[in-house]
């Protein structure tokens, strides 16, 4: 997940990486980041400004969602959002598969 990027009259900036979460946990990660922003922002402080100064705190709230241990996994953790079947790598024979 990237936070803090934006574009304005002074140019554009890319967001900074705060963590890598499984797709099924993205809504929870967004909820946590929004709560962090609402609780810690300054008066009239925009999200990109807040996350530029609070990157460490954003990383902390996302960290518990990053690790997906097999013993904690649910069957839906292996189904891509929008799909109905568990994820399976597609390997094929041929020159590129070597």
Rounded Cα distance between 92 and 82, Å, is 24
Please give the pLDDT value at position 95: 67
CB-based contact 59:19 (threshold 8 Å): yes
- Of residues 15 and 92, more confidence is placed in 15
Mean pLDDT value across the chain: 87
- Of residues 86 and 33, more confidence is placed in 33
Domain hosting 81: range is 2-87
Confidence tier at 87 by pLDDT (50, 70, 90):
confident
How many domains, in total, are found in the chain? 1
Q: Residue 98: pLDDT above 70?
A: no
Confidence tier at 28 by pLDDT (50, 70, 90):
very high
Rounded Cα distance between 33 and 27, Å, is 10
* 92 in a structural domain: no
* 44 in a structural domain: yes
């Amino acid at each position: 997940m990237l936070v803090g990027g934006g574009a304005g009259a002074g140019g554009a900036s890319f967001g900074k990486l705060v963590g890598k979460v499984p797709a099924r946990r993205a809504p929870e990660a967004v909820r946590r980041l929004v709560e962090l922003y609402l609780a810690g922002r300054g008066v009239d402080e925009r999200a990109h400004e807040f996350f530029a100064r609070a990157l460490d705190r954003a990383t902390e709230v996302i960290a518990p969602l990053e690790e997906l241990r097999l013993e904690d996994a649910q069957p839906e953790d292996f189904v891509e959002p929008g799909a109905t079947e568990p994820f399976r790598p597609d390997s094929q024979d041929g020159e590129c598969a070597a």
